[in-house]
Amino acid sequence: MSGGSSRPSYVSYQSAGAALHAPTILVFDSGLGGLSVFRELARARPDARFVYAADDAGFPYGRLGETELVGRVLSVMEALIARLAPDAVVIACNTASTLVLPALRARYSIPFVGTVPAIKPACEGSVTKQVSVLATPGTVKRDYTQALIRDFAGACQVTLVGSLRLASIAEAAMAGEEVSDADIAAEIAPAFVREGKARTDTVVLACTHYPLILERLQRNAPWPVRWIDPAAAIARRLSSLIGPVAFAASPAPLRLFSTATPLDAALIERIVGRKARAGEVLSPVPLEA
Ligand code: DGL
């Protein structure tokens, strides 16, 4: 529970007489969405040992009330940190990051990197000054999101779209289930706004599930837009916190944890193009009162 559990547990490598270290990075989401962030993290950090954890028992986070979500993430994180002693944690979930980061940082001394709506780069690059934020219902309600708009929207008109179903649709599509174009089109339609001559030219992917189905989103968009995925920026942020890459080992297989059903290693290997170990279930995860 305390920061004491967060001491680095580097694996040492010897090279030219110097000890080099493989940092353990924990990547966390409610489901498979955080894999869109993991792909970039893995590219940026060939020296790291990655663990991917999904709180699938709590999925979808977008529907949870704020008190419930804070308690849930703190409990699951406590179990994960006790088990894995990571050197850094990436909360690869906008719905959690826009709410829970202050509580996590107060409790642990290890660095936490969050994933929050990329409103600043979206608004800076918009020509029509019509930007939409496609997120979960939780993320669009957050004070944090409102503050980003207040501070960084500038002259842009920002439309917040809280999709009830798109994260679940992405999970189903990733699992190889049939997902209709009509369902996707209906979920993203409110993000396409026409006001006079100006129409939306930029859509922020503010849920990590959405980049996993980007090609389906593009195909079902009423007109072409710039889709903003913050994953590469998150990877740069993590790198700046843990220091330069010291060596490139052949990547360790991804370790997988979940809270309900073991994650399907073969499916995850297909999504991220990297070897994964058989999924383990973290249990029981007592929920905070
Ligand atoms: N992937 C998560 C996010 O970035 C949310 C999905 C969910 O509703 O659990 O917001």
Ligand 1 mutation target, pool 204, 208, 234, 271, most atoms within 8 A of CB: 208
Is the pLDDT confidence value at 5 over 60?
no
For residue 187, how far is its CA from the centre of ligand 1 (angstroms)? 15
Average pLDDT over residues 52-66: 96
Q: pLDDT category, 20, cuts 50, 70, 90?
A: low
Domain locations along the chain:
21-115+232-281, 119-229
Same fold, 21-115+232-281 and 119-229: yes
Is the pLDDT confidence value at 13 over 50?
no
**Cβ–Cβ contacts within 10 Å for residue 79, how many?**
17
What number of residues does the chain have? 289
Higher pLDDT, 10 or 155: 155
Q: pLDDT category, 76, cuts 50, 70, 90?
A: very high
Determine whether the shortest distance from the Cβ of 212 to ligand 1 is under 6 A: no
Is the pLDDT confidence value at 17 over 60?
no
Average pLDDT over residues 66-86: 96
Which fold, 21-115+232-281?
Rossmann fold (3.40.50)
Buried b or exposed e, range 206-222, using 16+ CB within 10 angstroms: bbbbbbbbeebbeebbe
Strand order in the sheet with 255-258: 112-113, 88-91, 24-29, 49-54, 255-258, 280-281
Determine whether the shortest distance from the Cβ of 163 to ligand 1 is under 6 A: no
Is the pLDDT confidence value at 6 over 70?
no
For residue 96, how far is its CA from the centre of ligand 1 (angstroms)? 8
Locate the ligand 1 atom nearest the alpha carbon of residue 62 and give its number.
8
At residue 245, the pLDDT reads: 86
Higher pLDDT, 219 or 251: 219
- The CATH architecture assigned to 119-229 reads 3-Layer(aba) Sandwich (3.40)
Higher pLDDT, 250 or 134: 134
At residue 19, the pLDDT reads: 54
